[in-house]
């Protein structure tokens, strides 16, 4: 898997493909994640692999879907190979705190993914703010 892993890291430009945090800020390597978990029959190939920071990967686990907090409906999660990030997600200055940048879901898929992956955990918002300066 090491050549495949290197290809995934390079393709992702060494950023988490969910929350966009850069690998360069962290010592521990980000995970090569199965978008469709192996337990659901997901393949170990470029079409089903993504680079994910530990937090996104751990929160996502084998989940394929989540609840859109706005509608309460069950929807699929963001798929880094098939979806465009900017179509579903957006960086925004936090409405409630200075020096924080949130990831906001623009669609049911985006909102469910932000919530399940806990993308707006405090520290990650602060890191995003520092990177934006
Ligand atoms: Zn992440």
> For position 95, what pLDDT does the model report?
84
Number of domains in the chain: 1
Q: How many CB atoms lie within 10 A of CB 105?
A: 20
Q: Residue 1 pLDDT > 80, yes or no?
A: no
Euclidean distance between CA atoms 105 and 66, whole angstroms: 13
Task: State pLDDT tens for residues 92-102.
Answer: 998 888 899 99
Q: Whole domain around residue 98: which residue ranges? A: 2-132
Q: How far is the CA of 114 from the centre of ligand 1 (A)?
A: 10
What is the pTM for the complete model shown? 0.94
Quote the mean pLDDT of the chain.
96
Residues 6+ apart with CB under 8 A from 81: 35, 47, 48, 50
**pLDDT tens, position by position, 9-23:** 999 999 999 999 999
51 C-alpha to ligand 1 centroid (Å): 8
- Report CA(96)–ligand 1 centroid distance (Å): 22
Tokens 């909102």, located at residue? 111
* 59-89: pLDDT as tens digits: 999 999 999 999 999 999 999 999 999 999 9
């Amino acid at each position: 898997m090491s050549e495949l892993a290197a290809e995934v890291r390079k393709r992702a430009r060494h950023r988490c493909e969910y929350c966009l945090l850069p690998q360069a800020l962290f010592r521990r390597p980000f995970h090569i994640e199965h978008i469709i978990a192996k337990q659901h029959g997901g393949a170990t190939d470029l079409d089903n692999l993504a680079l994910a920071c530990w937090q996104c990967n751990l929160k996502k686990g084998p989940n394929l879907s989540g609840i859109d907090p706005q509608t309460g409906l069950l929807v699929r999660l963001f798929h880094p190979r098939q979806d465009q990030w900017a179509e579903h997600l957006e960086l925004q200055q936090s409405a409630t705190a200075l020096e924080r940048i949130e990831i906001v879901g623009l669609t049911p898929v985006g909102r469910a993914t932000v919530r399940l992956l806990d993308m707006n955990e405090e520290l990650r918002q602060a890191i995003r703010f520092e990177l934006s300066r």
